Amino acid sequence: MADSHGAPKHPYHLVDPSPWPALGALGAFLLAMGAAIGMHPDMLGDFSKKLVEAVNWWVVAPGFLIIFAVMYWWWSDVIVESRKYHTAVVQLGLRYGMILFIASEVLFFAAFFWAFFDASIFHSAAEMPLRTEANGGMWPPKGVHVIAPFDLPFMNTLILLLSGTTVTWAHHSILEGNQRDAVRGLLLTVILGACFTAIQAFEYFHAPFGFRDNIYSSTFFLATGFHGFHVLVGTTFLLVCLFRAMKGQFKPEQHFGFEAAAWYWHFVDVVWLFLFFCIYWWGSGNAPIAAH
């Protein structure tokens, strides 16, 4: 019940009815169906076959458009709500939610590391003759030329580590009420994130192996590719925070949107360190280095 002034007697935020969850579910369904039909054109008989022949991979476009629209409008609503209803109690709950989300992301990447270590450590196990035959009894598999770990991968490592310092600088600036330095730190972080993505794209285009070549290339592209996707998401997250910081929307006592982005970015940094040491460096073994 509200008091005489209409103010709630609890510190929680009870959200208003919203169309975005239902619309987002519709977009996810259309995207999943579009992807399935794109990979299996005859899934629904002649109808889906003719559809793919007519529009090709544009069959996934409606799902993507709806999802991106929902992301924009839903998160815009959340930003507006944060200025009015995100009390200290609500922010604490959001922090717990972000911690659980990052924990789920850790387990997500653990699966890719597990696949890589299983294939690399047990590459010539007696109980798996087919794997031994496919790998040539060695790791990386026979004939594979690897990417030099202390070339572009090492440069990207330095870039991400530097971006971790700039985002921390921005965080401390927000805590001190220094809007100018917060904007500077965020701008540098976004630029470094874009540089990382550009260098990884260049590395992929000049990789000496393809995704389907062997178990080494498949696990390599899955692990590093999903990390690259997370870098892209994190850079977008921080870009939105940059625009908000320029408008002065972050206050020392209320800036969870930035805090969540910073936590996510530090998670991306740590995962890359494991990728660099385990896959690029240790995982390359004694394989020959690919020529540029």
How much is the average pLDDT of 239-261? 93
DSSP string, 192-203: HHHHHHHHHHHH
CATH fold of the domain at 87-284: Four Helix Bundle (Hemerythrin (Met), subunit A) (1.20.120)
User: Percentage of residues in the chain with pLDDT exceeding 90?
Assistant: 62
For the chain, percent of residues with pLDDT exceeding 70? 92
- Confidence label for 187 from pLDDT (cuts 50, 70 and 90): very high
Q: Residue 125 — pLDDT band, cuts 50, 70, 90?
A: low
Task: Please check the confidence at residue 98 and state whether its pLDDT lies above 90.
Answer: yes
- Residue 5 banded pLDDT, cuts 50, 70, 90: low
Question: To 10 degrees, the CA torsion angle through 144, 150, 153, 158?
Answer: 170
**Residue ranges matching CATH 1.20.120.80 in the chain:** 87-284
Asked whether the predicted pLDDT for residue 123 surpasses 80, the reply is no
Residues 202, 152 contacting (CB under 8 angstroms): yes
Instruction: Measure the CA–CA gap between 27 and 172, rounded to whole angstroms.
Output: 38
pLDDT of residue 211: 83
d(CA 41, CA 37): 5
**Domain 1-85 is in which class?**
mainly alpha
Assign 8 a pLDDT band (cuts: 50, 70, 90). low
Does 1 score more than 50 pLDDT?
Answer: no
Retrieve residue 215's tokens. 């178990």
Report the pLDDT value the prediction gives residue 138, as an integer from 0 to 100.
Answer: 76
Q: In whole numbers, what is the pLDDT of the chain averaged over residues?
A: 89
Q: What is the total residue count of the chain?
A: 292
Token representation of residue 36: 């399935």
How confident is the model over 48-69, as a mean pLDDT?
Answer: 89
Q: How far is CA 223 from CA 35, 118, 212, 278, 280, in A?
A: 21, 14, 14, 11, 11
pLDDT 10s digits, 146-178: 899 999 999 999 999 999 999 999 999 999 999
Helices 256-275 and 61-85: crossing angle, nearest 10°? Answer: 130
DSSP state of 289: B
The secondary structure element, H or E, covering residue 30 is helix 20-39
Strand partners, 251: 254
Q: Tell how many helices (H) and how many strands (E) occur in the chain.
A: 9, 0
| Range scoring the smallest mean pLDDT among 71-80, 113-122, 134-143, 193-202 | 134-143
pLDDT at 2: 47
Q: What is the DSSP letter of 146?
A: B
